[in-house]
Structure 1
Amino acid sequence: MNTRFVKTIATTAALALALPATLGHAADFPASPASYVTPQAPAHAYPFGVLSEVRGGIFYHGYDTPEQGSGVDLNAELLSPRIVETNAGYWNYLIPRLHVGGNLNTDGKTSDGYFGLTWTVPIYQRLFGEISLGGSYNDGHTQFVPPVGYSAVGCHLMFRESATLGYQLTDHWSVMATAEHISNDHLCARNAGMTNFGGRIGYTF
């Protein structure tokens, strides 16, 4: 495996450990958006405790950057239940889940690991939407003039946001279209952000 990516994931894991300690006591209603029609349902006991959902998919890499079209990004993501247990009805949609994930570029270009908060809301029947905010750590080039074909990301630690539109196929399986963006918001010398988008599948325990 790409040693740069291994280092990236290791650093991201260390950063993710700084997330709230409430993760160890997380409880939630069923994460399946199909269950949101009954928001007063009792808390769901997940077989893996702090892990409620796993996701994976393929992203188009580096839209509108020097790395555009360089291979694809293999995405994987883990999500917790909501960080607190409550019977607050539809106010539950304001309570986020914790996530940690990563993108491995198949062409050796910029890969990253990320962590943060995810808010999931139902739209209509089994259709749902999501917004995620957090941080990421990438293995990209930070020098002012990077090698040809590489993006100058400015710094390794960056902000990350994403938006998802999904459909719950069953109580366990879902499909999603996701767009994500990382940037340093001009906190570093260069701010060549990275935008990826593609499709994923998810499995809720």
Structure 2
Amino acid sequence: MPKSKFLAAALAATAFMGVSAPASATDNWIDELRVGVYDHASDAFGSSHETNNPDINAEALFASPDWLSWAGAPRPMIGANLNTGGGTSIAYAGLAWDYYFTDAIFVEGTFGGAIHNGETSGNNGPDRDRMNYGCRAMFHESASLGYNFDGHSSLMLTIDHMSNASLCDENPGLTDIGVRYGFKF
């Protein structure tokens, strides 16, 4: 999928979510919005690939529906990591589980699926700067350590990972590390 089509699809999904959201925050359809910046393919987990340009993260979390109470009431979420330098960008959806140690300190884990605009075959693209991820559909998971300032605003240190769990021939994975700000309605 060309980068422009990928970005257009991500923007269309974001616009759809914004238009279909309730008019007031008291409806609690969208539970939280987040933005952040990630170190793309962070050196903390091996050699950095593709680009040194950061990823911009945007994410929307929704109120947990009653039918997910059996699974610990995770919040459904959608998001995207958009690389600012021509590297691989991803769009993802899944579920997020939060655990609060205190009123302020929490951890969060997520699990779901992702699609990306990176290479899926060949030797890392014509310039050999792009990773070959083997297939388009991937698993996506993340973990965050956060601090909630006032019940609405939080700051999180996040590790974000995408891979195909060796279901395709190539599986280098993509791991980002960064910080995010969240606003809970």
TM > 0.5: yes
| C-alpha distance in structure 2 between counterparts of 1:126 and 1:61, whole Å | 28
Q: CA shift at 1:140, angstroms?
A: 0.4
Note if 1:71 corresponds to 2:53: yes
TM-score by length of 1: 0.74
User: CA separation in 1, counterparts of 2:50 and 2:93?
Assistant: 24
- Which one of the candidate residues 60, 65, 69 is aligned to 1:83? 65
Identity %: 34
Number of aligned residues: 170
For 1:75-154, list aligned pairs within 5 A.
75-84=57-66, 94-147=72-125, 148-154=128-134
User: Following the alignment from structure 2 to structure 1, what is the Cα–Cα distance between the partners of residues 174 and 27?
Assistant: 33
After TM superposition, the structure 1 stretch with the greater mean CA deviation from structure 2, 65-74 or 185-194, is: 65-74
Counterpart selection for 1:168 from 145, 148, 154: 148
With the length of structure 2 as denominator, give the TM-score of the two structures: 0.82
Q: Distance in 2 between matches of 1:8 and 1:140?
A: 15
In structure 2, the gaps of 5 or more residues are none
- Structure 1, unaligned runs of 5 or more: 18-23, 25-44
Partner amino acid, structure 2, of 1:154: G
Give 1:46 deviation, angstroms.
Answer: 4.0
Give the Cα separation in 2 of the matches to 1:140 and 1:7: 16
Matched residues in 2 for 1:5 and 1:92: separation? 35
Equivalent pair of 2:51/2:86 in contact (CA under 8 Å):
no
Structure 1 pair 56/173, CA: closer, same or farther in 2 (3 Å)?
same
